[in-house]
């Protein structure tokens, strides 16, 4: 089966090669050719816009992808708000503020870049080649400047490439560690090709050392730990110790070789730290930063919610200088050399949240992907984690996202890595494989004639066995079920947990998939289950996401996409006896979460939603009353209020619009009724 048959929207031919070429050129040239990064970034963004208009994709975005795009848009909108607020008593609608906003515009251009990259297949090698080439060229440039640059009139004690030494060191070190993610790709092509990521790593480190960027070195322990943790999954202890020894030897060698300048700068840094510890005034790197950080925090405390605007920090420093609390020299710096404090001062807590989302949203997905069964996805996730933890550390000593080069590099690399990862994942989820383990599907039902058909159709001819337990249907549920399976049983109704345990006990296959009658198995989930159930599955149970469909719309946030355990090894599993919200319990097993989805059309109409929530509230309250739980009426109200804000704000239900608001209200109402029942029973004097 070729790629075009699997994914009809995949770009092929010259269109794909053009995108791939830009993916290679950006990291390869970013630090050594002036304006190359901005030009390549703009070209790929324009390509994404053009392709989106004339060759639109038919593949819907996943929830994770939507949240990622939202984090980018949210960061820009908060920056825009900061710019607008700057007219209120700080620097006004200045050229400086407009220039900063132009930099943040790259996070909006991230969107077309990401959307076009996710449409090209099997292009991971282009990325690995580009990022390794970038590290190699940065290192060679550094060596040339230090060793032979004085004859060419280029000599400098610190190497900066096409940017300043600090940013050169930060980005080259990041590329060095990201290069190692290509190890698996190049190893498949022969031992000789392993020199590509090795040289990218070594020379990228050389470039970072020669830059003299001490802030970059702060990230080294985190980079090394990430490398060792990933290596621990694949290498023997002796090899891991060898890697650790190699990294330590490299750092010590860099310290003791005078030409690197590392020893001198570390000694200076140590002296400054000692002075700071003993409260000695210092105008060195540490002393200056400590005073700037104090000023930024002072501005934040005066404007904690929305910050003081684009020029808030600058104005705060001017005020402190006028009061004699800071020296005039601090007026030279328009940021406090700390991204977190700059964001807090200019955009307040709202800005800090936007920065946390910018780092945290992709990091969460990469942490999941680094445990994926596919090595290509794991390696891309490694590069993504290296990118993010690098920037999180650089932000401690530099306003890393207040500069054009690092913003462009972060946005481009994140779009490329995440896009290639998603393209690979789409390919796997849409590639049928032969399942090695037998599978039973179990369903409990009552009066589900209008919904059980699509459910059974989604597993017909795929599962070896379908078991349906009916608890007294008065419609045609049983006759519909018998069209799909001969294992239809009529029973009484003892509650959800016991009924599902009965169904589990009637299953005979090695693995069991538990479904509700209103759920439909997606094609992606079927393929993913088939690929997971190998001769020796890596896990004993799998959580399965359930995007809910209500009132004609699929919800992606709030109460949607919960992932209960639904796929399990039969002999290791059982259901709890809970009358509602039962769970699968797996004895001594490992559990993970799948990506494919069970589409869950929860309610027939609004009246059914009210009926179902009231039924569940009563059952839950009765069970809790029996276990000794009690509640007050004010407690019921506060829990309902918290539930609403948790779903609508905390879990981003507002992104689902009116449907999200309604579901947040229904869930809050359910929570209130559940605890109000406990109060009512107590008020009635029941025991």
What would the pLDDT profile of 399-440 be if each residue is shown by its tens digit? 899 889 999 999 999 999 999 999 999 898 888 888 999 999
Q: Which pLDDT band holds residue 89 (cuts at 50, 70, 90)?
A: very low
Q: What is the pLDDT of residue 267?
A: 64
CA separation for the pair 483, 441 (Å, rounded): 15
Please check the confidence at residue 152 and state whether its pLDDT lies above 70: no
Residue 395 has pLDDT above 90, yes or no: yes
β-strand pairing of 591-593 with 584-586: unpaired
Q: Residue 651: is its pLDDT beyond 90?
A: no
Mind listing the pLDDT tens digit for each residue in 530-579? 999 988 888 999 999 998 888 888 888 988 888 999 999 999 999 998 88
CB atoms within 10 A of CB 36: 16
Write out pLDDT tens, residues 659-671: 999 999 999 999 9
% of the chain exceeding 90 in pLDDT: 50
- Return all residues near 169 (Cβ < 8 A) that are at least 6 apart: 207, 208, 209, 211, 212, 213, 215, 216
Question: In the structure, how many helices (H) and strands (E) does the chain have?
Answer: 26, 13
Instruction: Report which of 489, 417, 413 is spatially closest to residue 446, judged by C-alpha positions.
Output: 489
The three-state secondary structure class of 297 is helix
Q: Rounded to whole angstroms, how far apart are CA atoms 101 and 395?
A: 19
Query: Higher pLDDT residue, 334 or 530?
Result: 530
Helix (H, G, I), strand (E, B) or coil at 418: helix
Is the confidence at residue 202, as pLDDT, over 70? Answer: yes
pTM: 0.87
* Tens digits of residue pLDDT in 236-246: 676 667 767 77
Question: What pLDDT does residue 224 have?
Answer: 86
Q: In whole angstroms, give the CA distance from residue 594 to residue 373.
A: 11
pLDDT given for residue 422 in this prediction: 94
**Averaged pLDDT for residues 222-246:** 75
Q: Give the residue from 199, 43, 213, 85 showing the smallest Cα distance to 134.
A: 199
- Our measurement of the distance from residue 642's CA atom to the centroid of its chain's CA atoms, rounded to an integer in Å, reads 25
- Decide if 681 contacts 625 (C-beta within 8 A): yes
For the chain, the residue count is: 687
590 alpha-carbon distance from chain centroid: 22
What are the C-alpha distances in Å from 232 to residues 198, 226, 239?
18, 10, 9
Residue 275 pLDDT > 70? no
More reliable by pLDDT, 627 or 645: 645
Q: Which of 171-175, 206-210, 332-336, 681-685 has maximum average pLDDT?
A: 171-175
Query: Cα separation of 418 and 420, whole Å?
Result: 6
- From residue 630, alpha-carbon distances to 219, 613, 686 in Å are 50, 20, 11
Q: What is the mean pLDDT of residues 189-193?
A: 90
Q: Where are the beta strands (DSSP E) in 304-453?
A: 439-445
Q: Which residues pair with 591 in a beta bridge?
A: 541
Angle, CA 33 vertex, CA 31 and CA 37 arms, to 5° = 65
Q: What is the torsional sign of CA 340, 341, 344, 349? A: positive
């Amino acid at each position: 089966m070729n790629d075009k048959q699997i994914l009809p929207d995949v770009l092929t031919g010259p269109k794909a090669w053009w995108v791939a070429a830009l993916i290679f050129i950006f990291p390869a040239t970013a630090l050594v050719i002036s304006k190359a990064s901005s030009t390549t970034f703009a070209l790929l963004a324009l390509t994404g816009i053009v392709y989106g208009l004339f060759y639109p994709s038919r593949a819907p975005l996943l929830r994770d992808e939507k949240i990622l795009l939202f984090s980018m848009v949210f960061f820009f909108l908060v920056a825009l708000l900061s710019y607008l607020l700057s007219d209120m008593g700080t620097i006004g609608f200045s050229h400086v503020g407009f220039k900063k906003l132009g930099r943040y515009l790259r996070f909006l251009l991230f969107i077309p870049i990401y959307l076009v990259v996710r449409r090209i297949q099997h292009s991971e090698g282009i990325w690995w080649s580009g990022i390794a080439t970038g590290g190699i060229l940065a290192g060679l440039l550094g060596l040339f400047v230090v060793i032979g640059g004085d004859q060419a009139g280029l000599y400098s004690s610190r190497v900066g490439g096409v940017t300043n030494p600090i940013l050169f060191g930060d980005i080259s070190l990041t590329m060095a560690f990201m290069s190692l993610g290509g190890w698996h790709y190049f190893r498949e092509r022969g031992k000789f090709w392993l020199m590509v990521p090795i040289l990218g790593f070594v020379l990228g480190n050389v470039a970072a050392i020669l830059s003299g960027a001490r802030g970059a070195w702060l990230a080294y322990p985190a980079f090394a730990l990430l490398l060792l943790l990933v290596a621990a999954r694949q290498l023997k202890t002796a090899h891991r110790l060898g890697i650790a020894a190699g990294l330590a030897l490299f750092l010590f060698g860099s310290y003791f070789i005078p030409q690197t300048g590392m020893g001198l700068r570390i000694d200076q840094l140590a002296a400054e730290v000692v002075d700071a510890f003993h409260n000695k005034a210092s105008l060195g790197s540490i002393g200056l930063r400590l005073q700037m950080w104090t000023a930024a925090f002072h501005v934040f405390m005066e404007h904690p919610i929305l910050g003081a605007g684009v020029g808030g920090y600058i104005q705060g420093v001017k005020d402190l200088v006028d009061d004699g609390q800071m020296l005039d020299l601090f007026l030279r710096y328009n940021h406090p050399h700390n991204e977190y404090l700059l964001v807090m001062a200019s955009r307040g807590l709202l800005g800090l949240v936007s920065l946390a989302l910018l780092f945290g949203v992709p990091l969460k997905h990469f942490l999941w992907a680094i445990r994926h069964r596919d090595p290509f996805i794991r390696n891309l996730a490694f590069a993504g984690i290296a990118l993010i933890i690098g920037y999180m550390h650089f932000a401690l000593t530099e306003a890393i996202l207040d500069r054009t080069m690092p913003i462009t590099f972060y946005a481009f690399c994140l779009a490329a890595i995440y896009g290639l990862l998603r393209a690979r994942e789409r390919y796997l989820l849409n590639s049928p494989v032969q399942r090695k383990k037998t599978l039973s599907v179990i369903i409990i039902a009552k009066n589900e004639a209008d919904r059980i058909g699509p459910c059974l159709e989604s597993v017909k001819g795929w599962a070896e066995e379908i078991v349906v337990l009916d608890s007294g249907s008065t419609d045609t549920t049983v006759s519909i079920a018998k069209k799909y399976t001969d294992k239809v049983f009529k029973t009484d109704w003892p509650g959800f947990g016991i009924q599902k345990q009965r169904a589990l006990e009637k299953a005979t296959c090695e693995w069991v998939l538990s479904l509700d009658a209103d759920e439909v198995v997606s094609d992606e989930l079927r393929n993913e289950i088939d690929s997971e159930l190998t001769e020796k599955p890596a896990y004993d149970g799998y959580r399965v996401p359930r995007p809910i469909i209500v009132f004609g719309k699929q919800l992606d946030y709030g109460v949607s996409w919960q992932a209960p355990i639904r796929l399990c090894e039969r002999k290791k599993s059982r259901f709890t006896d809970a009358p509602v919200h039962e769970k699968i319990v797996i004895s001594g097993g490992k559990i993970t979460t799948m990506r494919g989805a069970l589409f869950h059309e929860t309610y027939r109409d609004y009246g059914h939603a009210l009926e179902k929530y009231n039924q569940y509230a009563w059952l839950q309250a009765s069970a809790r009353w029996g276990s000794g739980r009690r509640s007050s009426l004010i407690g019921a109200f506060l829990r309902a209020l918290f539930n609403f804000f948790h779903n609508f704000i905390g879990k981003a239900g507002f992104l689902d619009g009116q449907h999200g608001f309604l579901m947040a209200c229904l869930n809050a109402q359910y929570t209130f009724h559940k605890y109000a029942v406990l109060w009512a029973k107590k008020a009635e004097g029941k025991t």
